[in-house]
Structure formats: structure tokens, C-alpha cells
Amino acid sequence: GDQVEQSPSALSLHEGTGSALRCNFTTTMRAVQWFQQNSRGSLINLFYLASGTKENGRLKSTFNSKESYSTLHIRDAQLEDSGTYFCAAEANYGNEKITFGAGTKLTIKP
């Protein structure tokens, strides 16, 4: 069954505001990655986390493997942040397959 549940499916923000995206996992994951897919379809890796929190500019991500979730926080949103955000995770039982969530379509409005 689906192991990676991503929410919300769509989100609209005004420039300068912020919000959080979330992924819940139905099994124990050993690591999570977050990607942005831009208007040209390119998937850009934002974060790789095996645990804890990482920050890069206006983005911050947390992975809590014990409670089986990960979040991606966006602050001071800019127009170029529009796109679809995906989380992807590898289960802890070792077959190395990396499963993607369904994505969050983020629209930034002026």
C-alpha cells in the first residue's frame, strides 16, 4: 500500500508569507528527500535527511523517523517558489526502493 502520504495536495500563498508541507509515512523510513518540480518539469533536490533538521535559505526541513513524518517549511515565499513539491523516502527494511508522495502543488500569488 501507499507508504508516503503527502499533504496538502495544493496550496496557495501570497508573496512574503509562509507555510508548511507535510509527509506522513506508514512504515519506518531511514531517510527522506524533498524535491521541487518546476514549470519545465525538472526535479530539483532540496534536502536529504536521515534525521533532524536542515535549513537552506528560506526553506527548512525536519525528519522525525520515530513519529514517521517529515515537514518542509517555506518562509517569505517568492514567485519562483511556485511548483510541485515532492517528498520521497526509503523504507528501513533495506530494499533501497525510494517511494514518492503524490506532491503538493504550490502557487505563489503576487
Query: Which residues of the chain form contacts with another protein (CB under 8 A)?
Result: 31, 33, 35, 40-43, 45, 48, 86, 88, 90, 95-103
Q: Is the dihedral of CA 62, 48, 106, 9 positive or negative?
A: negative
Q: What's the rounded Cα separation, in Å, for the pair 65 and 50?
A: 8
C-alpha cell at position 88: 520521497
C-alpha cell at position 75: 518562509
Instruction: Write down the least CB distance from residue 10 to another protein, Å.
Output: 14
Instruction: Write down the least CB distance from residue 62 to another protein, Å.
Output: 17
Instruction: Write down the least CB distance from residue 75 to another protein, Å.
Output: 23
CB-wise, 63 or 77, nearer to another protein?
63
